[in-house]
Amino acid sequence: MKIFFKWTLISCCIIFLNSCDLKTKDNQGLDRPNIIFIMSDDHAYQAISAYDNRLIQTPNIDRLAQMGMLFTNASVTNSICAPSRATILTGKHSHLNGKVDNHFQFDTTNITFPQILQKAGYQTAMFGKLHFGNNPKGFDQFKILPGQGAYYNPEFITKNDGNITVDGYVTDIITDMTLDWLETERKAEEPFMLMYLHKAPHRSWLMAERHLEDFTNRTFPEPATLFDDYSGRTTPAGEAEMNILHHMSWAGDHKVFPEMMDELGIPEIGFDKRRYNFEYSRFDSAQRESFMNAYGKVNEAFAKAYPTMSEEEKMKWKYQRYMQDYLGTIQAVDENVGRLLDYLEANDLMENTIIVYTSDQGFYLGEHGWFDKRFVYNESFKTPLLVAWPGKVKAGSKSDELVQNLDFAQTFLEAAGVSAPSDMQGESLIPILTGNDDKWTRDAVYYHYYEYPAEHMVNRHYAIITKDYKLIHYYFVEDQWELIDLNNDPMELKNVYHDPAYAEIKLDLHARLEGLRVKYKDNSQISQRFIDDLMKDALEGKIFGITKEKAQEILDRRNQVEQAKN
């Protein structure tokens, strides 16, 4: 009996010690990787030199492609800022997480992957642009911009210090905060999940002082479809209000001085002069001087040219101004990503860390004559995605698998060894990242855009996208379908939906589209609820970028179409 008790006691001690050792090992993060999620706002994949080097060189972002994997078919489920972020956090499509557009509030009862990781023992932090919500759940530390935030001398909402204003340039400041947390608050004994989120290159594209002289003197190649007349597709492409010539503002977007506009008799469009005044009023004296020196030269040359400029020349001028400012903001993003990567290397934090670089969606850089996003055409639907994970992801590898922002939550949870909630709808990217592509079975993705009628007037649509085709349904007002052959029409200029040669393909895609709508629990009843809510607010003048009169015109047109059907 004594012998039995002795061995029982020894066994219990061994079990206890082993459990303590496992717990310590787990807490130290030796098995669970750190996660660094880097996201910029509206960063087009064609403005990363690892994807396309014709516009800009981004050597630091490219380092992630050299260290790990570059995805060529990464996409979003809904190409607009806040809904994309909600999908990333929840792992659910917009219609289920409730954040279908930028207008309606995010439902904070949603469970997000940072909450789950925090509960599982991860130290969590967020710095930069969240875009919705003032107090993100699941974070030990956060310092976030209110709403869109400002480029110069921005305010931040913080967890511990209330609302603060920080002098300087926003991209540098967000990085300073991130590095300071890594240096002074990170607990070495715990794995961490860090969200490092840039405002840039979101409109209105104010670059750092150090880049003003360089970028305002650059010239960039024009896209082949800059003067697209939208004749080959259904009506929504031609009705959208995001044409560079007709819908970008002279002052707010292109930095034409308001007094010069008055002298030249140029009527403002889009956001009139509010955007210009908001940013200009934030400058200190030195920043104002830098701005006036750089854009004074731009304005002087413009004043001389404008009186004799044709519409084509105005379009070309506006495109160059757009690219100078947009790409100038990316230069600072790339530099600061380099600062972060240098810190990780210097402090031995690369080895067991997943590093992701992505954007909340793509962006049009003059393709189809457009800026902004929203459509399911490639430049807005696709998003950059680069993932490094030393020892796990093969350096310099590429994947053309159809992955989405829907997949991030489950990827991070699997990497951390944590079970994902059953209502998450994505798929973990771990099989692709670790070279087990045979375990990846997705051959089509689902997309649904909701924000209409509203700013930019891009009609509601949902779609199925494969590597070869897109079948798109514009269902609000008119009932219109598009079929795009991506292999024969990579610039997406021609709708072949009514071409008899595609009859069999169309039939197959229709069936598969309905299958995806069932799989992801999307249907016409859900869409109608969101339509009714938005139309009500639009008719009451509560939707930014649309008048009551315009909303009523759209509703009348829709009712006429419905009556004609019946």
Mean pLDDT over 87-112 rounds to 94
- pLDDT classification of 218: cutoffs 50, 70, 90: very high
Domain identity same for 483 and 335: no
**Within a domain: 415:** yes
- pLDDT classification of 28: cutoffs 50, 70, 90: very low
Concatenating the DSSP letter of every residue in 435-502 gives: T-GGG-----EEEEE---SSTT-PPPEEEEE-SSEEEEEE-SSS-EEEEEETTT-TT-----TT-GGG
Domain identity same for 302 and 346: yes
Residues 6 or more apart in contact with residue 174 via CB below 8 angstroms: 127, 128, 129, 196, 197, 198, 199, 336
Tokens 């690219």 belong to residue: 323
Instruction: Return the percentage of the chain with pLDDT > 70, whole number.
Output: 94
**Within a domain: 262:** yes
Residue 105, pLDDT score: 86
25, amino acid identity = K
Q: Which residues pair with 354 in a beta bridge?
A: 35
Q: Is the pLDDT of residue 54 over 60?
A: yes
Domain identity same for 465 and 438: no
Token pair belonging to 66:
């050299």
Domain identity same for 455 and 401: no
The answer to whether 363 and 223 are in contact (CB under 8 A) is no
Structural element, H or E, at residue 25:
helix 2-27
**Within a domain: 27:** no
237, amino acid identity = A
Domain identity same for 145 and 245: yes
Residue 342, pLDDT score: 98
From 418, 443, 468, give the residue that closes a domain: 443
- Which CATH number characterizes residue 49's domain? 3.40.720.10
Residue 394, pLDDT score: 98
**Within a domain: 439:** yes
Q: Is the pLDDT of residue 87 over 80?
A: yes
**Within a domain: 87:** yes
Domain identity same for 437 and 490: no
Mean confidence (pLDDT) of the chain: 92
Q: Could you tell me which of 92, 35, 32 has the C-alpha nearest to residue 422?
A: 92
The residue ranking higher by pLDDT, 9 or 289, is 289
Query: Comparing 86-90, 101-105, 228-232, 330-334, which segment has the lowest mean pLDDT?
Result: 101-105
Q: Is the pLDDT of residue 386 over 60?
A: yes
Q: Is the pLDDT of residue 22 over 70?
A: no
Mean pLDDT over 238-245 rounds to 96
Return the number of other C-beta atoms located less than 10 Å from residue 64's C-beta: 25
Highest average pLDDT, of 105-114, 124-133, 374-383, comes from 374-383
Domain identity same for 433 and 491: no
**Within a domain: 142:** yes
Residue 271, pLDDT score: 59
Structural element, H or E, at residue 315:
helix 311-346
What are the tens digits of pLDDT across the range 328-369? 999 999 999 999 999 999 999 999 999 999 999 999 999 999
Residue 389, pLDDT score: 97
Token pair belonging to 481:
């379908």
**Within a domain: 6:** no
Residue 45, pLDDT score: 98
Q: Is the pLDDT of residue 17 over 50?
A: no
Domain identity same for 411 and 454: no
Residue 2, pLDDT score: 39
From 379, 414, 443, give the residue that closes a domain: 443
Q: Is the pLDDT of residue 57 over 90?
A: yes
Residue 185, pLDDT score: 97
What are the tens digits of pLDDT across the range 158-188? 999 999 999 999 999 999 999 999 999 999 9
**Within a domain: 4:** no
Mean pLDDT over 13-29 rounds to 35
Residue 277, pLDDT score: 83
Q: Is the pLDDT of residue 1 over 50?
A: no
Mean pLDDT over 373-391 rounds to 98
Q: Is the pLDDT of residue 491 over 70?
A: yes
Tokens 């875009």 belong to residue: 131
Mean pLDDT over 466-493 rounds to 97
Instruction: Return the percentage of the chain with pLDDT > 90, whole number.
Output: 85
- pLDDT classification of 194: cutoffs 50, 70, 90: very high
Residue 133, pLDDT score: 74
The answer to whether 442 and 427 are in contact (CB under 8 A) is yes
Q: Which residues pair with 462 in a beta bridge?
A: 448, 473
What are the tens digits of pLDDT across the range 402-421? 999 999 999 999 999 999 99
The answer to whether 224 and 493 are in contact (CB under 8 A) is no
Return the number of other C-beta atoms located less than 10 Å from residue 393's C-beta: 23
Mean pLDDT over 100-116 rounds to 93
From 443, 473, 502, give the residue that closes a domain: 443
- pLDDT classification of 11: cutoffs 50, 70, 90: very low
- pLDDT classification of 529: cutoffs 50, 70, 90: confident
Domain identity same for 383 and 453: no
- pLDDT classification of 272: cutoffs 50, 70, 90: low
Q: Could you tell me which of 217, 233, 35 has the C-alpha nearest to residue 125?
A: 35
Domain identity same for 410 and 461: no
Domain identity same for 434 and 457: no
Q: Which domain holds residue 527?
A: 448-565
Mean pLDDT over 522-529 rounds to 90
Domain identity same for 500 and 544: yes
- Where does 216-341 show beta strands of DSSP type E? none
Query: Comparing 18-27, 83-92, 130-139, which segment has the lowest mean pLDDT?
Result: 18-27
The answer to whether 521 and 514 are in contact (CB under 8 A) is no
Token pair belonging to 477:
């007002």
What are the tens digits of pLDDT across the range 290-334? 999 999 999 999 999 999 999 999 999 999 999 999 999 999 999
Return the SS3 of 66: helix
- Domain count for the chain: 2
